[in-house]
């Protein structure tokens, strides 16, 4: 018996899964804390479908090269830093940070063609970045990484930092969160009260106010009704977000700067990194302030784990079916596309200023009904259930 004669109707929406891009995003990508690389050792980074080596030359400059020696393929990340260069463990060829071979200890001269790929490297705000461009063009000044005045200030802590390899999904899933208002309620368990996006040139911003949900248990206390959150998050390019965030609850407030960044390993995997610095409240000791920064970073990490669980089990959708309150998903993806085409192929709709504020009246009224029902059901539930 046929239970639904319309099950295979032409009106049924089909998912277009598309394909992952065949190139990696053009732009600055954060590799992590700079102090990690200032230790006198070479570091291997698997990124952009290849392997890189990051090392500190004698003058303290961080450099990034392709990891595999152009001579016979030795892995420079297994080599030794010698002066301003890195020596291959196979035949001791010495490579400078600009990609030129500096010396071949057993040879009379260095071949004129002895060059390897050098990656533009930037150290800023206690972090290290490398520039990727499939056409190997240098980074323009207009897409520089902003200086964070808070970093290095006596009023703020140092970074608390974490990272995670996310496999089985493309990093576009992470970018979609910029406009995804509704998932904050269902995945991250806070209720947005204001949500706006602004895109312009290489920058995409999300402005959000939110409250805690009184129907969610938080530790031993029932609900997080008193929680107030103000968030201003901006992507500078395709992979580096700075998120200023203020949390207030019970008459106390804390202010932090959170970093959300990633770099692709393959078209279907990426390294997700996050960290935070916190502003020291009056009378707060350094240890207390550092604990607050760690708490900020941990809360961001907990949120990411909720997202990662979704990403690992969802499918790619190039043609999402949207309602009015879903926000400018397609506009964000057009903005994001600028990093996957040559600069000469960027069109105005990718970079022109675009603003959109989500109308939250319907969502909030329906959420209030849902939360009230949840709390009533919880009160009626037998103890221990």
Q: Per-residue confidence at 367, pLDDT binned at 50, 70, 90?
A: very high
Same domain, 45 and 76: yes
Of 93, 112, 143, which residue is a domain's last? Answer: 143
Q: What is the pLDDT of residues 118-142, one digit of tens each?
A: 999 999 999 999 999 999 999 999 9
Tokens of 135: 């056409």
**Domain co-membership, 196 together with 339:** yes
Last residue of a domain, one of 143, 171, 201: 143
Find the CATH number of the domain harbouring 73: 2.102.10.10
Query: Are residue 180 and residue 64 in the same domain, yes or no?
Result: no
Does position 327 have pLDDT exceeding 70, yes or no? yes
Residues 129 and 264 in one domain: no
- The verdict on 283 and 257 lying in the same domain is yes
* CATH number of the domain within which 357 lies: 3.90.380.10
pTM: 0.92
Clarify whether residues 86 and 113 are in a common domain: yes
Domain assignment present for residue 348? The answer is yes
Mean pLDDT of 306-318: 93
pLDDT of res. 5: 57
Instruction: Please compute the mean of the pLDDT values over residues 185-195 and round it to a whole number.
Output: 96
**Any domain includes 15:** no
* pLDDT of residue 285 exceeding 60: yes
Q: Which residues contact 107 (CB under 8 A, 6 or more apart)?
A: none
Q: How many domains does the chain have?
A: 2
Position 367 in a domain: yes
The pair of structure tokens assigned to 112 is 């004129």
- Mean pLDDT of all residues in 160-164: 95
Residue-number span of the structural domain to which 338 is assigned = 160-374
Residues 254 and 170 in one domain: yes
Look at residue 67 and tell me if it is in a domain.
Answer: yes
Residues 134 and 183 in one domain: no
184 in the same domain as 98: no
Question: Does residue 19 belong to any structural domain of this protein?
Answer: no
Say if residue 246 is in the same domain as residue 348: yes
Beta bridge partners of 47: 50
CA gap 341, 333 in Å, rounded: 13
Is residue 267 a part of any domain in this protein?
Answer: yes
- Decide if 73 contacts 79 (C-beta within 8 A): no
Instruction: Answer whether residue 184 shows pLDDT above 50.
Output: yes
In a domain, 4, yes or no: no
Residues 238 and 368 in one domain: yes
Least confident residue range of 84-88, 214-218, 305-309:
214-218
Residue where a domain stops, chosen among 143, 173, 194 = 143
Q: Are residues 112 and 190 in the same domain?
A: no
Whether 25 and 264 have beta carbons less than 8 Å apart is answered as: yes
Dihedral-angle region of residue 90 (phi above 0 means left; psi in -120 to 50 means alpha; beta otherwise):
alpha
- Answer yes or no: is 181 within a domain: yes
At residue 2, the pLDDT reads 56
């Amino acid at each position: 018996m046929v239970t639904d004669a319309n099950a295979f109707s032409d009106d049924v929406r089909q998912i277009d899964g598309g394909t992952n891009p065949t190139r990696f995003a053009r732009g600055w990508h954060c590799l992590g804390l700079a102090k990690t690389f200032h230790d006198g050792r070479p570091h291997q980074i698997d990124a952009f479908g290849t392997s890189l080596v990051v090392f500190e030359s004698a003058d303290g400059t961080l450099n990034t090269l392709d990891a595999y020696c152009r001579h016979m393929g030795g892995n420079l990340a297994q080599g030794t830093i010698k002066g301003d260069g890195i020596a291959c463990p196979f035949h001791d060829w010495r490579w400078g940070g600009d990609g030129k071979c500096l010396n071949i200890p057993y040879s009379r001269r260095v071949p004129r063609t002895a060059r390897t790929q050098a990656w533009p490297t930037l150290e800023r705000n206690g972090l290290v970045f490398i520039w990727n461009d499939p056409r190997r063009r240098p980074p323009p000044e207009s897409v520089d990484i902003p200086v964070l005045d808070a970093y290095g200030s006596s009023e703020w802590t140092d970074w608390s930092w974490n990272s995670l390899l996310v496999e089985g999904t493309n990093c576009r899933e992470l970018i979609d969160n910029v406009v995804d208002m509704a998932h904050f309620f269902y995945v991250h368990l806070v209720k947005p009260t204001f949500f706006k996006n602004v895109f312009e040139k290489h920058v995409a911003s999300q402005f959000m106010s939110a409250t805690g949900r009184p129907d969610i248990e938080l530790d031993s206390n029932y609900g997080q009704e008193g929680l107030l959150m103000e968030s201003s998050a901006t992507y500078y390019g395709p992979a580096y977000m700075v998120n200023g965030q203020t949390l207030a609850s019970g008459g106390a407030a804390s202010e932090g700067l959170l970093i959300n960044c990633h770099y692709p390993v393959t078209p279907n995997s990426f390294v997700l990194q996050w960290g935070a610095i916190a502003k020291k409240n009056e009378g707060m000791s350094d240890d207390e302030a550092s604990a607050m920064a760690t708490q900020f970073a941990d809360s961001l990490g907990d949120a990411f784990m909720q997202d990662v669980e979704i990403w690992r089990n969802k499918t790619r959708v190039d043609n999402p079916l949207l309602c009015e309150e879903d926000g400018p998903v397609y506009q964000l993806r057009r903005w994001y596309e600028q990093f996957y085409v040559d600069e000469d192929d960027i069109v105005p709709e990718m970079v022109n200023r675009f603003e959109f504020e989500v109308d939250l009246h319907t969502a909030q009224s329906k959420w209030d009904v849902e939360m009230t029902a949840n709390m009533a059901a919880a009160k009626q539930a037998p103890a221990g259930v």
